Amino acid sequence: MLGAHMEREIEEQGVILHERAASYLETLRRAFRGRSFSMVLLVARGSSDNAALYLRYLIEIQLGIPVSLAAPSVLTRFGTRVRYIGCLAIGISQSGEAPDVSEVLSSAREGGHTTLAITNHPDSRVALSADHVLPLEVGEEVAVAATKTYTASLLAGYQLVRALGADLADPGDALPDPDWIEKCREAASVGLGPILRFPTLFSLGRGYSFASAQETALKLMECALLPSKSYSTADFEHGPKALATAGTAAIVYGEAPASLTGSQMVIVRPPEGISGALGPIREIVFGQYIALMAARARGLDPDRPENLTKVTRTL
């Protein structure tokens, strides 16, 4: 069946995340308990970049530490070494083989800053560039589209912020379970129609859920070859909402913009679930399923998307 690996890996998330949550926190507390930093630098690409976006909101909201999302080409293309101050540099890469992520971590480490790699491959290039490594340990991810490595990266970020001192609840029962995963599958099936029919697609979210909007748009593009643009629901008000007419659809995480009330745009929603800091770890299962189903409906194999490979190397 088309997307058999992707579907299995979506379903595995319910068990894997519960199994890994405690070990992530223990590893990160050993490394960072009592440590403080003046800023955090996040470096990632693709789905890992969306996990980094989630972590940015977590760190700034829960710890009040300023966060910068690295532009690796500043170093790799222009050769400029940025003068960070009291920095924790975090590289997120499911494969661990992203050269630009590795280069930024190495540069930060050489500059005397603390570095952490979050990766599914603890012997990889990115891992070897860092002082500390958090192995995701989710098993091999066969499908090109990241699913379980993405949600594991979100969970790792959540546990990191707890390890750094944030007063956040144990994720526990808030993590996806088989019942939630099935609910997302059913909701995706119900909402699939306009995603397939309409040529103009948006994915919207704000705060923690902005990462879910970004990741959903990426999944629709890479798996189903459907052009989709993600926006913060606030940014959507600044021009893009002009396209909210008949023949457009938006997947909306959280509250829909008031301007869409009564519009002809079709709103597609994930099932109602836990909101706040843990919301993105649950809600993205819906985005993964709708991309999988859209790909199958179009006769595409999301395990082997066109023009993509599992490991992408850029500098």
Q: Which domain holds residue 76?
A: 4-172
Q: What is the CATH number of the domain that holds 223?
A: 3.40.50.10490
Q: What percent of the chain has pLDDT over 70?
A: 97
Among 125, 149, 172, the domain-final residue is 172
Give the pairing type, strands 39-44 and 114-119: unpaired
263 assigned to some structural domain: yes
Kindly state whether residues 204 and 146 are assigned to the same domain: no
What pLDDT, on the 0 to 100 scale, is given for residue 270? 93
| Same domain (yes/no): 40, 164 | yes
Report the alpha-carbon distance of residue 149 to residue 95 in Å, rounded. 9
Q: Average pLDDT for residues 67-75, to the nearest whole number?
A: 91
Give the least confident one: 80-84, 186-190, 295-299: 80-84
- Does some domain include residue 314? no
Residues 165 and 186 in one domain: no
pLDDT digits (tens, 9 = 90+) for 11-67: 999 999 999 999 999 999 999 998 999 999 999 999 999 999 999 999 999 999 999
Residues contacting 45, CB < 8 A, separation 6+ = 72, 93, 98, 100, 101, 312, 314
Residues 191 and 246 in one domain: yes
At 96 the pLDDT is: 86
pLDDT of 260 reads: 78
Question: Which regions of the chain does DSSP assign to beta strands (E)?
Answer: 39-44, 67-69, 87-92, 114-119, 132-135, 200-205, 228-232, 248-252, 266-268
Same domain, residue pair 166 and 190: no
Residue 33 neighbours by CB under 8 Å, 6+ apart: 163
Q: Residues 159, 180: one domain?
A: no
Ranking 92-106, 168-182, 227-241, 259-273 by mean pLDDT, the lowest is: 259-273
Task: Classify strands 114-119 and 200-205 as parallel, antiparallel or unpaired.
Answer: unpaired
**Quick check: is 311 in a domain?**
no
Tally DSSP H helices, then E strands, for the chain. 10, 9
Q: What is the pTM of this model?
A: 0.95
Both 44 and 123 in one domain: the answer is yes
Distances 279 to 91, 163, 247, 290 between C-alpha atoms, Å: 23, 19, 29, 17
Residues 23, 129 share a domain: yes
DSSP symbol at 157: H
Over residues 131-148, the mean pLDDT reads 95
Is residue 304 domain-resident?
no
Residue 109 predicted with pLDDT over 70: yes
Q: Give 161 or 80, the one with higher predicted confidence.
A: 161
pLDDT, mean over the chain: 93
Q: Is the same domain home to 97 and 40?
A: yes
